[in-house]
Amino acid sequence: MAESEKAPTTRRDVLRGLGGALGAALAVGALGRRPAAEGEALAAPSRPLADARPQAAANAAPLTSDPLAQEDVLVRMERELTRALAKPREQRRWVMVIDLRKCVGCSACTVACVAENKLPPGVVYRPVLEEEIGTYPNVTRKFVPRPCMQCDNPPCTLVCPVHATWKNEDGVVVVDYDQCIGCRYCITACPYGARTFDFGHFYTSGTPQGVPSLLGQDAADDYERLANAEYGESWPRSGGDESPVGNVRKCHFCLHRLAEGMLPACVTTCIGRATLFGDANDPDSLVAEMIAKPNVMRLKEEMGTAPRVYYLL
C-alpha cells in the first residue's frame, strides 16, 4: 500500500521498474555469481536493487522515476497545502488521515505537539492509544493516535455557555482562551476525550532551586514560560493564573502553522508518514484520495459527530 499513496500514475511504473530490477538482479546472480561462495550467493538476492539498478534503468525503459527518489508525501502535502491556502477559507476542508497500518506507536507526534504548543503537564492534544490484541502467539499491538476529531457536528461547542468555542471558517474547532471561563462542560461533552484542562502545572515545580541560578528550577523553567503561538497569538505562561491556565485546551490542527504554510507538527514529525493532512475539497489532494478508500473509518461514527479525522485500517 505504500506506493498507492503516491501519484497513481507512478505505481505501475514503479512495479514495472522493480520487476525489471529484480529480474536483472536474478540474472546477474545467475550468470555472474555462480562460482561464488555459498554465503555470497545467499546474500545477493537480499540486496537486488543496489546491485542491479544500472541494468534496471537500462533495461526498463518506461521507468519514469528512480524508485528510491520517490517524492516524500510530506513534499506533496506541503505543495497541496500551498494550493489550499490560496483558496478562500470557507472553501477548504482540512482533514487528517491516520494510517493505522503504518503507525508504530513511537509517540513522536504526541511529543512534537507538546513541544510545538508548549503544553504543560496534564495537557495533551494527541495521545497515542495502545491496545494489545490476541494472545501469544497470535498477538499484535494496535496504536491509535487521537487528535481532536474536528467534528462537523461537534457536541462540545453546543454546551459552552459563553460562546468560547466554535467551529471556525476552516472547520476547525477552536477555543477563545480569553472568553473561556473554565467550567469544563465541553470536556464532559466530547465523546473522544480530546479536551484537557490547563490546571497551571509546571514540569519543573518541586525541583531544586539552583545556586547560582544557572541550573535548577529558576533557569530550567524558562522553557516552560515561553509563549506558544496557538491561534496566531502569543500565550506565555508567567506562573500566575492567566490564560491559558484555567482554560480548556485542545488540538487545533496547528492553525498557527497552517497560516504560515506549514503542516501540523504531528504530521511533519511522523516517522512512518502515517499521519496525512490536507484539504479534502481538493480532489487531487492526497487526503481526498485516501478518504475515498473502502478501508477508511472514523471513531464513534454512530454518534453522528461526523469527525474530520479518518483512520485507514
Distance CA 32, CA 303 (A): 63
The 10 Å Cβ neighbour count of residue 17 is 23
And the C-alpha cell for 81? 497545502
281: Cβ contacts below 8 Å, ≥ 6 apart? 84, 87, 91, 92, 93, 288
| Lookup: cell for 125 | 492534544
Q: Which residues, other chains included, contact 60 with Cβ-Cβ below 8 Å and sequence gap of 6+?
A: 16, 17, 19, 20, 21
The residue within the footprint of another protein, chosen from 15, 181, 227, 313 (CB under 8 A), is 181
Report the DSSP pairing between strands 94-99 and 309-312.
Answer: parallel
With contacts defined by CB under 8 A, name the span among 10-18, 80-88, 197-205, 216-224 that binds another protein: 197-205
The reply to whether 173 sits near another protein by the rule CB under 8 A is no
Report if residue 118 touches another protein, rule: CB under 8 A. Answer: no
Neighbours of 250 (CB within 10 A): 25
121 binds another protein (CB under 8 A): yes
- Minimum CB distance to another protein, residue 157 (Å): 9
**Quick one: 190 or 287, whose CB is closer to another protein?**
190
Residue 110 touching another protein (CB under 8 A) = yes
Site for another protein in 78-107 (CB under 8 A): none
CA distances from 57 to 6, 15, 31, 199, 264 (A): 20, 13, 19, 60, 37
Residue 183 binds to another protein (criterion: CB under 8 A): yes
| Site for another protein, residues 216 to 255, rule: CB under 8 A | 241, 243, 245-248
Interaction mask 123-162, another protein, x per CB under 8 A: xx--xxxxx------------x-x--------x--xxxxx
Nearest distance from C-beta of residue 239 to another protein, angstroms: 11
Nearest residue to 254 via CA among 243, 262, 245, 246: 262
Tell me the window of 33-41, 45-53, 58-66, 177-185 that interacts with another protein (CB under 8 A): 177-185
Q: Please tell me the count of residues contacting another protein according to CB under 8 A.
A: 48
Residues that bind another protein (CB under 8 A): 110, 121-124, 127-131, 144, 146, 155, 158-163, 179-185, 187-193, 195-201, 241, 243, 245-248, 299, 303
